[in-house]
């Protein structure tokens, strides 16, 4: 059975996409720790990040760094958080988000019902930042499709 992330990538479930390449996508989470909280997800379903092959693992972390650059550019946080934990969805993924203190790393504090317009706005800010930083070739033409 396909994971929810595979279903988002396939377009069966809506997503707000920021990045798309042959190996992975990045889209906003629907339960953000802060505006711009993004998930970097391989297209191929791999349950645990340590089971990713080296090339894909390296690529995901490279994309997470580029998303982090865009987050820093768009939101000017003190830090950009990066987390790999994988308990909520059995499909490897990296969380990348604006962080201003260690308290910003608590997933229990995620916003459970964010305003869709606020998610759209954060997504457009990051898409614009990715273009400004020179990564536009990987930004999907429409935010709702990878």
CATH code of 75's domain: 3.30.428.10
Asked if residue 57 is part of any domain, the answer here is yes
pLDDT on residue 1: 77
- 145 domain-assigned: no
Residue 144 domain-assigned?
A: no
Question: Which residue has tokens 């930083």?
Answer: 133
Domain count, the chain: 1
**Which tokens hold the place of 66?**
């580029």
Alpha-carbon distance 124 to 139, whole Å? 11
Whole-model pTM over 0.95: yes
d(CA 68, CA 130): 10
Cα angle 60-63-68, degrees, rounded to a multiple of 5: 125
96 close to 73: Cβ distance less than 8 angstroms: no
Q: Distance (Å, rounded) from C-alpha 120 to C-alpha 35?
A: 10
Q: What is the CA radius of gyration of the chain?
A: 14
Among all chains, which residue has been given the structure tokens 């070739």? 137
pLDDT, tens digit, for every residue of 41-81? 999 999 999 999 999 999 999 999 999 999 999 999 999 99
pLDDT band at 134 (very low <50, low <70, confident <90, very high): very high
Look up the domain containing 107 and give its range. Answer: 4-138
Residue 65's pLDDT is what?
A: 98
Average pLDDT over residues 11-34: 97
In a domain? residue 105: yes
Residues involved in catalysis: 93
């Amino acid at each position: 059975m396909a994971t929810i992330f595979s279903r988002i990538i396939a377009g069966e479930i809506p997503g707000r996409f920021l990045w798309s390449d042959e190996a992975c996508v990045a889209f906003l989470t629907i339960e953000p720790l802060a505006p711009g909280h993004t998930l970097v997800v391989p297209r191929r379903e791999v349950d645990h990040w340590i089971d990713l092959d080296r090339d894909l693992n390296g690529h995901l972390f490279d994309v997470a760094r580029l998303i982090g650059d865009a987050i820093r550019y768009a939101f000017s946080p003190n830090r950009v958080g990066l987390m790999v934990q994988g308990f909520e969805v059995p499909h490897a993924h990296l969380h990348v988000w604006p962080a201003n203190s260690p308290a910003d790393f608590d997933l229990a504090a995620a916003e459970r019902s964010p305003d869709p317009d606020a998610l759209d706005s954060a997504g457009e800010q990051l898409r614009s930042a990715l273009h400004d930083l020179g990564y536009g070739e990987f930004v999907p033409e429409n935010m709702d499709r990878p």
